[in-house]
Each structure stands twice: as C-alpha cells, then as structure tokens.
Amino acid sequence: MSNKVFAHASDAIHDISDGAVLMLGGFGLCGIPEHAIAALVKKGVRQLTCISNNAGVDDFGIGLLLQQRQVKKMISSYVGENAEFERQLLSGELEVELIPQGTLATRCMMAGYGIPAFFTPAGYGTEVAADKESRPFKLFGQEKDYLMEYAFEADFALVKAWKGDTQGNLIFKAAARNFNPLMAMAGRITIAEVEHLVEPGQLDPNEIHTPGIYVHRIFKGDHFEKRIEQRTVQAKSTV
C-alpha cells in the first residue's frame, strides 16, 4: 500500500507551485487547513487561485496568503471579514468571483461525484446569472427557472479533519465539517491535515465521513490554533 502519511505540512504541499488552483476547506476560520496555509506562506508560491467560502481575516487563514500577495484570484461566497482583501479588490490587484454559498458547495461536491454540471435556482435574475444558461424545470409541483452551474476542478484540495487514519479515512468535528468533505472529494490531489492521526482499524467504519480513496496525503498538525472569529458567550451567573 502506498504511503499517504507525511511528517510535515511543508512536505505534503511540496509540489504546489505558482499558478495552482486550490480548494481550501473551512467556514470563516472554523475548520480551515491552517498548517497547509502556513506552509504555503513559507514556500512563497504565487498567482494562486483559491476556492474557499471565505478569505480569512487579515492575520489568519487565507488572509496570510493575501498579505504576501500570493493570491491571484479568490472564488468565494462571503469575504466581509478582511480589510486587506477589500483593499486589493478595490485597487484591482485581486480578481474575485463571488458566488452563492450553496452553489459553491455543490460545485465542489459535483466534482467529487463525477457530475460536470447541475441546475440551481440560486442567483436566477441576478448579476450572478450573467452569461449562464438557464432553463425552466418543474420540481415539487412548482415550475421555476434554474441556472446551469459547472463542477469545480482543483489541482489540490486542502482540508482539515478532526481524526484521520493512515489510509486517509476522515472524520470531521461539529461545524468544522462545512466544506471540508466536499472539497476532499474534489481535489486532483487532496491533502488532509488532522488533529489525531491513527492506524487503520482505530476509526469506526460506520463513522467515516470521507473514505480514504479521496485522500492522497495526510499529516498530523502539531498544534491547531483554531482561532475564534466571534467569541460570543453568556456571562456566568454569580449565584
């Protein structure tokens, strides 16, 4: 069996080069491949196209790649938390394609299922629909107009899981699942970073979210910062 395990993020991403198209899992800063991003910053690859729901914040996540001007194009649904992003966008340094969140998720999923295109009502009649084929369909007893959207292809998918085994089987935790299993299935080469890396047989096959067939490389992250974007709590009662 070929060895999928890498010791460090830098080894796992060694062949990501200038101009690569990447998918990066995560929603906000939740479930992002933070070690792979740090390794890309260190490697200094440029002209990247990043497919990711968000663009991180100024000093964490994809924001770190933006700071170093390593990103040519972002394909995202919401980018509101990053001032540097907005600056680069308004100055024309950065190309941005904004697409509806469900469309983004499904375009990733479709690649993993081998389906080239699908129809969705999201964005019909809006500027998102420009130059796209549309068609009416009747579903659930209702006729509506749908837009045709294509599956995304990516050279590399960078995902973060809670647990993984050396064969690449992955389990995600809570809301850190988000785009990760979809992108894991879509990458030409999928690189997973995990909090816990175990031997085959130590994960319950009933609980695997992503079968290892989709995962080409896996490594254990040393320490996950897991930064919280909006810390909201209830004050402890003093009673």
Partner 1 sequence: MLDKNQIAKRIAQELRDGMYVNLGIGIPTLVANYIPEGVQVVLQSENGLLGMGPFPMEGEEDADVINAGKQTITTIPGSAFFDSAMSFGMIRAGKIDLTVLGAMEVADNGDIANWKIPGKMVKGMGGAMDLVASAQNIIVAMQHTNRAGESKLLSQCTLPITGLRCVRKVVTELGVFDITTRGFELREIAPGVTVEDVIAKTAGRLVVDGDIKTIVL
Segment 34-73, which members bind partner 1 (CB under 8 A)? Answer: 53
Stretch that binds partner 1, among 16-24, 39-47, 62-70, 82-90 (CB under 8 A): 82-90
User: Residue 131 half-sphere exposure, CB side, CA atoms within 13 Å?
Assistant: 1
- The candidate with the shortest Cα–Cα distance to 192, out of 222, 213, 153, 220, is 220
Residue 27 contacts partner 1 per CB under 8 A:
yes
Of 37, 48, 151, 182, which lies in the binding site for partner 1, with binding defined by CB under 8 A?
A: 182
Nearest approach, Cβ of residue 108 and partner 1 (Å): 7
Nearest approach, Cβ of residue 37 and partner 1 (Å): 16
CB-CB contact of 178 with 101 (8 Å): no
Tokens matching residue 110? 């479709």
Widest Cα–Cα separation across the chain: 62
Tokens matching residue 32? 């992002």
Segment 108-147, which members bind partner 1 (CB under 8 A)? Answer: 108-109, 120-128, 140
- The candidate with the shortest Cα–Cα distance to 156, out of 27, 42, 39, is 39
The pattern of x and - marking residues 204 through 223 that bind partner 1 according to CB under 8 A reads -----x--------------
Residue 88 contacts partner 1 per CB under 8 A:
no
Rounded Cα distance between 45 and 60, Å, is 17
Q: Which residues bind partner 1 (CB under 8 A)?
A: 27-31, 53, 76-81, 86, 89-90, 96, 98-106, 108-109, 120-128, 140, 162, 173-182, 209, 226-236
